[in-house]
Amino acid sequence: MIRALYYALAWTAAADAPPDARAFAYHRGLQPILLALISAVVLETVAVHALVFFLISRTLAWVLLALSLLGLVWLLGLVNSVAKLPILVTEAGVRIRAGLLIDLWLPADQIAGVRTGLDFGNLKRPEVLRASLVVYPNVLIELSPRLSVGQGARRREVALVALHPDDLAGFVAAVKGLKGGA
């Protein structure tokens, strides 16, 4: 929640990209959807607060309002973080990020290939990590050997990472330029 609060307030901060990395944005298709979600949350918060306040309990209304405002801060942090945390390509590998939700390091020697297109088959298979969130991916990074991601009971082996960088051609060229990329 602290990181979400930071990104909710850090609208003027520069993108987090070291000078030795090529940064690739992925927020152009994602931010409008998240902003629409925020609008819906604001409308829902006002309506529920009013209904609960006048019909059920004033105390419960204030508790629900506080929880809704916390959720709104987290969503604002997520929206800003997708712009401030780009995908990074360095000589050592690719750092896949999806705002506050995903931060994954792909070493160059594990990248077996890159595919582009619109028909990737079933992206809900367990061996696919869909880092594009709500936007349909336009590139797949193939891994060999598989990479272990997640924590605890949610840990799984991933063979493909699906994402949607805004500069598709530049991203594919950068990844193929890695010594392990194909």
**Which residue reads 């019909």 in tokens?**
55
91 and 157 in a single domain? The answer is: yes
Amino acid at 90: T
167 and 93 in a single domain? The answer is: yes
Mean pLDDT of the chain: 89
Q: Are 26 and 165 in contact (CB under 8 A)?
A: yes
Alpha-carbon gap, residue 6 to 142, rounded angstroms: 33
Element (H, E) at 146: strand 139-149
Alpha-carbon gap, residue 142 to 112, rounded angstroms: 5
Q: Which of 84, 117, 137 is the last residue of a domain?
A: 84
Q: Which of 33, 59, 84 is the last residue of a domain?
A: 84
Per-residue pLDDT tens over the stretch 97-107: 998 999 999 99
113 and 155 in a single domain? The answer is: yes
106 and 65 in a single domain? The answer is: no
Alpha-carbon gap, residue 143 to 38, rounded angstroms: 35
Please tell me the predicted confidence (pLDDT) of residue 29: 80
The mean pLDDT value for 8-31 works out to 87
Range of the domain at 163: 87-176
Instruction: Indicate the number of domains in the chain.
Output: 2
63 and 141 in a single domain? The answer is: no
Over the Cα atoms of the chain, what is R_g? Answer: 19
Query: Which is more confident, 134 or 67?
Result: 67
The mean pLDDT value for 40-58 works out to 93
> Is a pLDDT exceeding 70 seen at residue 181?
no
Query: What is the band of 136 on the pLDDT scale with cuts at 50, 70, 90?
Result: confident
Q: Which of 62, 84, 106 is the last residue of a domain?
A: 84
Query: Would strands 128-130 and 156-163 be described as parallel, antiparallel, or unpaired?
Result: parallel
Please tell me the predicted confidence (pLDDT) of residue 39: 93
Please tell me whether residue 77 adopts helix, strand or coil conformation.
helix
